[in-house]
Chain A
Amino acid sequence: MPDFEPKIVAFVCNWCTYAGADLTGTSRMKYSPQVSIIRFPCTGRIDFMLLLKAFASGADGIIVSGCHPNDCHYSSGNFHARRRWIIFRGLLDFLGIDVRRVQFSWYGRWGRSRATSACAAWA
């Protein structure tokens, strides 16, 4: 499917990844316009039912991204998100949604170039 244009939603935390995405812009790095960003205070805030809602509404891929382990602005939200993610993977599998459609990642404030390449690899 060469002209398949996946719609990718990125659920990001305000501190590391949103700021990182801002810096990507300031530095004029490029990534695919198929990726759109929704801001949360922390990955710990992300209710994973939202991910299901996003899939049900037509998202092709989802990125969940927050601060590195131990670097969470709120100390532990990213760990809660990780634990939730581990359980959620099982549910996705059960529902028949390929777990590879969700990328769970930690990106530091300056590490957005890595996120960019991750998006590029995706799209």
Chain B
Amino acid sequence: MARIGVFICHCGENISATVDVGKVAEAAARIPGVAHSVDYKYMCSDPGQQMVQNAIREKNLTGVVVAACSPRMHEPTFRRACAAAGLNPFLCEMANIREHCSWVHEKGDATTEKAIDIVRTLVAKVKKNKALQPIKVPVTKVAMVIGGGIAGIQASLDIANAGHRVILVEREPSIGGHMSQLSETFPTLDCSQCILTPRMVEVAQHANITLHTYSELESLEGFIGNFKARIRKKARSLDEKLCTGCGLCAQKCPTRRIASEFDAGLGLRPAIYVPFPQAVPNKPVIDREHCTYYLKGKCRLCEKVCPTQAIRFDQEDEIVEVDVGAVVLATGFDIKHSDFFPEYGYGKHKDVIDGLQFERLASASGPTLGEMRRPSDGKVPETVVFVACAGSRDPAKGIEYCSKICCMYTAKHAMLYKHKVHHGKPYVFYMDIRAGGKMYEEFVRRAMEEDGVQYVRGRVSRIFERNGKLVVKGADTLLGARPMEIEADMVVLATAGVAQAGAEELAQKLHVSYDAHKFYAEAHPKLRPVETNTAGIFLAGACQAPKDIPESVAQASGAAAKVAALFSQAELVREPLIAVVDRQAPPLYSSCVGCFLCQSACPYQAIEKEEIRGRDGQLLKTVAKVNPGLCQGCGTCVAFCRTKSIDIQGFSHEQVHAEVLALLNRGDRDA
């Protein structure tokens, strides 16, 4: 006979404000099989947990239901408490009467009744729970970091320095990400390349780091501690071992008028190229979409000039297979470009540029060698308008969020411009200035007060050309919405930060969740910011949301610490919520009829064939068997099985049936 204990939490007022907890406790006490029912202010507190443990011992409970918050919050707490009192932790269930009841309904009888329904449902379930033993699995102590921007670099170095092997996968020909494109960085104005490139070199030289550039993840299978990754190394058309990085090929390549990605389209590069001088690795790739040989079948000039015969026109993509125990996602972000804005000319005015293009204009390694010259005619712009929040915080554009970094880099841009063109007139149109951060507000003040940047509060409604000038129309909302018109030589749009191209496809390969804007979702918005919902996959940097460098680095170190903690265990303990096949005594042995529908449905290839043999060795039956190391507990096989021979522990047929019946059977509540 079941002896279930029910523990109802007030959660301070979070539950008791809308649910009559006393009434729930009384009703629970009347449910058949319930031996104990109490309510208490904070069940998760020490005295609360003590109440559960005492009741288990004193009343000899066979199961526990804690009616409180979501199991996603405190299930581990109460399962541990039960285990400490000698009750198998899998005989404890949580009835979610907070997130699914008290918080989403108004105070009233219906809400209290629903709470009672939920408790009754979980009591019915826990009666069918079975004592289970956790599963132990080994851990492969190798991490894969995807994305080699500053976040991926930091995470790789931290994990490698903790003594573990790292495989860093970067899509572009070089690591570095957006930070390598920046000129100087707020709030200190130190040179971006100068602080980044030592880290890039360290990655290249670190004995624990294997770098795959110009590579992408092809697929990922497995689970925490035991992933199998396939990496596609795209053909560089080069034997990297022979190439010395002399650069002769790029000098001689006749196909030279290709817009440089690194210079955000403002500069040109040849078909065989290294994206920037400090690239890691310093080895070129041939851009097959533009190379004359691949297009027309003639040229091969680079092959002729190469002193080490390193060019390989017939090279094919290579697939590398690796076993890894953890994954850090650090694929970063992108920005909208000026063609996103019809009101600012759809990108047809050459001198309306985006923030990254400005970074390249201001950079000593950029197309103007750091001189402030506008793209259309190379003239020094005398008046420059910076438009903050271009596209961000604008539901009409589908981007409701604040891109977070632009207030700061706009102040930086206006400052850098003024430092280069002393007599120039910089204007900033803004909505609010968001400068929360150490030394950030002071930085913006410095732009206004020391560098004389004119800040105008208001949105820019239109930009058009008139007599060789860009007319910027807006309104100054601090002066009673007075219309304003500025004749500018160049306009810089601080465009919205958006998810990286391909972010969604990658998330689907990894089975991690993402938000409506395709930024990767953290497991808990406050308490688990560097984990995803998929165990063993962590987040770092701007792939989670727009972020600046200090924040990206901090999160990367956080993710690395999580990986190191995971790798400090010899074995992982996994919840045994997996499928099992029915086995019974002879002559039946198992109700499985060997149709193996489950095998075709299983996404993890966890179903194996088991031969049951008699004493004399003759084959009696072939039935399904679950490999507990591979099974992830999705239960798809359960719904497929026609003889109901496969079942899933923790969500068994018995359990869910009992739940449905209890939920709908209002009878025993009224009794």
Contacts and interface: CB of A to CB of B under 8 A. Distances in A.
Nearest to B103: A25
Given A36-B114, A50-B656, A73 B106 contact: no
Nearest to A27: B103
Contacts of B661: 53, 57
B72 interface: yes
A96 interface: no
A47 B645 CA distance: 13
B627 interface: no
A110 B515 contact: yes
A15 B660 contact: no
B118 A76 contact: no
Contacts of A75: 511, 603
Contact of B103 (A28, A41, A46, A54): A28
B516 A33 contact: no
Contact of B638 (A25, A36, A47): A47
B657 A50 contact: yes
Given A30-B106, A36-B663, A109 B100 contact: no
A109 B650 CA distance: 23
Given A16-B513, A33-B105, A109-B521, A47 B639 contact: yes
Nearest to B516: A110
A40 B659 CA distance: 11
Contacts of A59: 664
B315 interface: no
Contact of B508 (A29, A32, A70): A70
Interface in A2-44: 7, 9, 15-16, 18-19, 21-22, 24-26, 28-34, 36-42, 44
Most chain B beta carbons < 10 A, residue from A30, A33, A53, A57 = A33
A25 B603 contact: no
Task: Pick from A9, A15, A22 the residue with the most CB of B within 10 Å.
Answer: A22
A40 B651 contact: yes
B105 A30 contact: yes
A121 B268 CA distance: 57
B635 A45 contact: yes
A84 B641 CA distance: 13
Nearest to B101: A33
Most A Cβ at <10 Å: residue of B98, B99, B110, B632: B99
A121 to B, nearest CB: 16
Interface string B643-671: 00000101101001101110111000000
Contacts, number: 149
Given A28-B104, A70-B508, A22 B603 contact: no
Contacts of A22: 70, 72, 96, 99-100
A85 B639 CA distance: 12
Given A25-B70, A33-B114, A41-B634, A84 B639 contact: yes
Given A42-B634, A76-B636, A31 B121 contact: no
Interface string B51-84: 0000000000000000000111000000000000
Interface string A49-90: 010011001110000000100111111110011001000000
A80 B601 contact: yes
A50 B70 contact: no
Nearest to A112: B104
A80 B103 CA distance: 33
A86 B147 CA distance: 40
Contacts of B114: 33, 36
Interface string B496-516: 000000000001100101111
Nearest to A116: B104
B270 interface: no
B344 to A, nearest CB: 30
B576 interface: no
B42 to A, nearest CB: 18
Contacts of B601: 44, 80
Contacts of A84: 639
A24 to B, nearest CB: 6
Given A25-B100, A73-B533, A45 B634 contact: yes
B117 A36 contact: yes
Contact of B104 (A16, A25, A48, A111): A25
Given A53-B661, A73-B511, A108-B513, A40 B103 contact: no
B45 interface: no
Contacts of B507: 71
Most buried by B among A16, A44, A54: A44
A116 to B, nearest CB: 8
Nearest to B73: A22
A115 B514 CA distance: 18
A49 to B, nearest CB: 9
B534 interface: yes
B577 interface: yes
Nearest to B665: A57
B323 interface: no
Contact of B639 (A26, A34, A39, A44): A44
A40 B656 CA distance: 8
Interface string B190-222: 000000000000000000000000000000000
A38 B100 CA distance: 11
B487 interface: no
B636 A47 contact: no
A75 B634 CA distance: 10
B371 interface: no
Interface in B89-148: 96, 98-101, 103-106, 108, 110-111, 113-114, 117-118, 121
A45 B648 contact: yes
Contact of B657 (A15, A53, A72): A53
A80 B639 contact: yes
A40 B635 contact: yes
B152 interface: no
A53 B639 contact: no
A38 B656 contact: yes
B99 A26 contact: yes
* Residue among B71, B110, B603 facing the most chain A CB atoms (10 A cut-off): B603
Contacts of B657: 50, 53
A67 B533 CA distance: 13
A58 B664 contact: yes
Contacts of B70: 22, 25
Interface in B237-256: none
21 contacts: A15-B513, A28-B103, A28-B104, A29-B104, A30-B106, A33-B101, A37-B96, A40-B651, A41-B577, A45-B638, A48-B639, A50-B657, A58-B665, A71-B508, A71-B513, A77-B636, A108-B513, A110-B515, A110-B516, A110-B521, A116-B104
The 9 residue pairs across chains A and B that have the minimum distance between CB atoms: A45-B635, A25-B99, A74-B634, A44-B636, A25-B103, A57-B664, A42-B634, A22-B99, A33-B110
Given A25-B70, A77-B634, 17 more contacts: A7-B664, A18-B72, A24-B104, A25-B100, A25-B103, A28-B103, A36-B114, A36-B117, A36-B121, A39-B651, A47-B653, A53-B661, A72-B511, A74-B604, A80-B640, A109-B515, A111-B516
